[in-house]
Amino acid sequence: MTTNYAVAPGEYLEEWIDDQGFSQQQAAELLGVSRKHVNEIVNGRASVTPETARRLERVSRIPADAWLRYEAAYRADLTRIADEENLARHVDDIDANAATYLRSLGATTATRANPGRLVSDFLAFHRCGTWDVYLHLHESASQGDYALAALKESGADVAPTALTTWLRAAELTERFERGRTYNYDETDLRAALPDLRTRAARPDQTMLRDIAGLLADVGVVFVVVEPPKSFPLLGMTRWIDKRVPVIQQTGRWGKDGFVVWTLFHELGHVLNDPRGEMHLEYKTEKRRTSSAEKGANHFAFNTLFSESGMEPFRGLTRDGDIARAARQVGISPGVAVHQMHRKRLLDYRFGNTLCVDLKDTFSE
């Protein structure tokens, strides 16, 4: 367990001297050093060197390597404490929800009451040695697997530290790690779209696992990762080394309409946007204004609803009628309701019982 103080080996030496009933002068005479040197060790101003440790072993019968361990631990703690004091100035740069999320992942137990340790654990989770390294890796559009430059261009109001922590959490999943070996093939992905659409039309306990398997077969990583609190994203697309596309979802709200729509929206980014770009899918319509986002929406709508569009659903309000129309189109009723709500064809009070809750199926 880490502490906010350092114990000098001199404290152990002072305890031994007291137990023996010695004075520092007597201890110094036995060790063959000056009283001043013993006093400096006791007060942490002088180090226990290998030579001194050997003498202490002969005099105290406490092994030399124990004294050297005390010394090494003391110096390491001094360095850690100084480092954490320096890092503490960055604690306000870490979003409160990101810190809570980090604790939920087991990556830290620290709170803002231990600011230096919290920042240190945050950096360790991101595999960054310093705060400057973290800023460089996550603010430069030309570095790493993803870039916060895309986030800035989108005008997002998600906290950067919450975003990067959520992204890093995905990298620690087994699916993401397996994805590093994938060979993505765009032609194969386009050929798999009908099968993906068919499987998405039957939301059940194994749907997400099956979809992840279908995507893995064509070199695409699909992963759902629980997000930080108040996180505004539904999903995003990024790439591993600009080779392997990753579709990452939060599962926000958990209903099949949102999950399936977000999946096909992100597939639109994978297939139609420049390789290596990162795209974020927000839970509010106002955020989807860029040409890339509009293009992804267009792709998702055309893929799911085909040429018929929303025509089969116009004027419908009863669950049974909506479900029958959805079956004829080849989509789940929940996806139909999601789009009917979005396009104001159905009051938000209606159709909700047709939506399937997938939250219990999000785990790896």
The whole-number pLDDT of residue 148 equals: 30
Q: Is 312 exposed, middle or buried (0-12, 13-18, 19+ CB in 10 A)?
A: middle
Spatial separation of the C-alpha atoms in residues 359 and 68, rounded to whole Å: 53
Give the burial string for 221-254 (b: 16+ CB within 10 Å, else e).
bbbbbbbbeebbbbbbbbbbeeebbbbbbbbbeb
The 8-class DSSP code of residue 363 comes to -
User: Do the beta carbons of residue 323 and residue 216 sit within 8 Å?
Assistant: no
SS3 (DSSP) at 191: helix
Contact 47, 71 (CB under 8 A): yes
Indicate the SS3 state at residue 280. strand
Nearest to 310 by CA among 281, 274, 285, 346: 346
What pLDDT does residue 294 have? Answer: 85
- What confidence score (pLDDT) does residue 235 get? 87
* 93, 161 contact by CB (below 8 A): yes
Q: Which residue has the tokens 């620290």?
A: 110
Which DSSP helix (H) or strand (E) runs through 234?
strand 233-240
Distance CA 31, CA 40 (A): 14
Domains of the chain in start order, with CATH, are: 9-88 (1.10.260.40), 169-308 (no CATH)
Please report, in tens digits, the pLDDT of each residue of the chain (364 residues total): 566 778 999 999 999 999 999 999 999 999 999 999 999 999 999 999 999 999 999 999 999 999 999 999 999 999 999 999 999 999 999 999 999 999 999 999 999 999 999 999 999 999 999 999 999 887 643 333 443 322 223 444 778 899 999 999 999 999 999 999 999 999 999 999 999 999 999 999 999 999 999 999 999 999 999 999 988 888 889 999 889 999 999 887 789 999 999 999 999 999 988 775 555 554 544 444 477 788 888 999 999 998 889 999 999 999 999 999 999 999 999 999 999 999 999 999 999 999 999 987 766 5
Q: Which residues contact 334 (CB under 8 A, 6 or more apart)?
A: 203, 255, 256, 257, 260, 354, 355, 356
